[in-house]
Amino acid sequence: EADIYQTPRYLVIGTGKKITLECSQTMGHDKMYWYQQDPGMELHLIHYSYGVNSTEKGDLSSESTVSRIRTEHFPLTLESARPSHTSQYLCASRAEISYNEQFFGPGTRLTVL
Amino acid sequence: GQQLNQSPQSMFIQEGEDVSMNCTSSSIFNTWLWYKQDPGEGPVLLIALYKAGELTSNGRLTAQFGITRKDSFLNISASIPSDVGIYFCAGQLFHDKIIFGKGTRLHILP
């Protein structure tokens, strides 16, 4: 079973608020990822990190930012939330070894009013 | 960039039926992964395949890594209500990012 955690699980906020979605893993994985997913739809990679102090933008442009100060922690921040940011955000991690599975957290369901 | 074509997009079946879905790519992969996502949850890994031609089972699930390394399929035998969800295939080449298909949505008719 994967040890990757996301908080909060659900968040409803007003437009213009700053929010941070937390993601932590206890597996010592170097590689971590953030995906955005509308209900029932495909996964879109928005950010990834290959280790401490490494962050890259993913395939889908996002107004969010990320940081990787510690191996186990990969938070995602929205400085000013808008209704268009309403979505599910999934965090994932993977070990550096080439043949290694990627594990997902349970997700944060964000609603911006 | 690399893309995976996953089909079918949706399936509507009767309980007890067998299910088959597949993924194809124009590029080769070294690893194929199959995930299942329940509503409101993150995807959970079902089966990982590492070798061309490999056939792996996990209970009622069977998946194969295509011999050309460009395709994979997942079969579910004797479907039950808890099989409902979205199934994602994913491929990886060495240290590259994992590429996900767009998902197959499985519905079981009452």
HSE value, Cβ hemisphere, 13 Å, CA-based, for A88: 19
Question: Hey, are the CB atoms on A48 and B97 less than 8 Å from each other?
Answer: yes
pLDDT value at position A113? 96
pLDDT tens for each residue of A61-100:
889 999 999 999 999 999 999 999 999 999 999 987 756 7
pLDDT value at position A91? 98
Give the model's confidence band at B96: pLDDT under 50 very low, under 70 low, under 90 confident, else very high. confident
Rounded-to-integer distance, Cα B97 and Cα A57, Å: 12
Choose among B20, B18, B24, B29: nearest CA to B6. B24
pLDDT value at position A6? 98
A111 beta partners: A12
Question: Hey, are the CB atoms on A94 and B94 less than 8 Å from each other?
Answer: no
Contact of A47 with chain B, judged by CB distance below 8 Å, is answered with no
Helix, strand, coil percentages (3-state) for chain B, rounded to 5, are 5, 55, 45
pLDDT tens for each residue of A26-68:
999 999 999 999 988 999 999 999 999 999 999 888 899 999 9
Mean pLDDT (chain B, rounded): 93
Choose among B98, B105, B31: nearest CA to A35. B98
Choose among B4, B29, B42: nearest CA to A35. B42
Residue entry with tokens 């979505």: A87
Contact predicate B61/B49, CB 8 Å: no
Give the model's confidence band at B57: pLDDT under 50 very low, under 70 low, under 90 confident, else very high. very high
Question: Hey, are the CB atoms on B40 and A90 less than 8 Å from each other?
Answer: no
Q: Which 8-state DSSP code applies to residue A73?
A: B
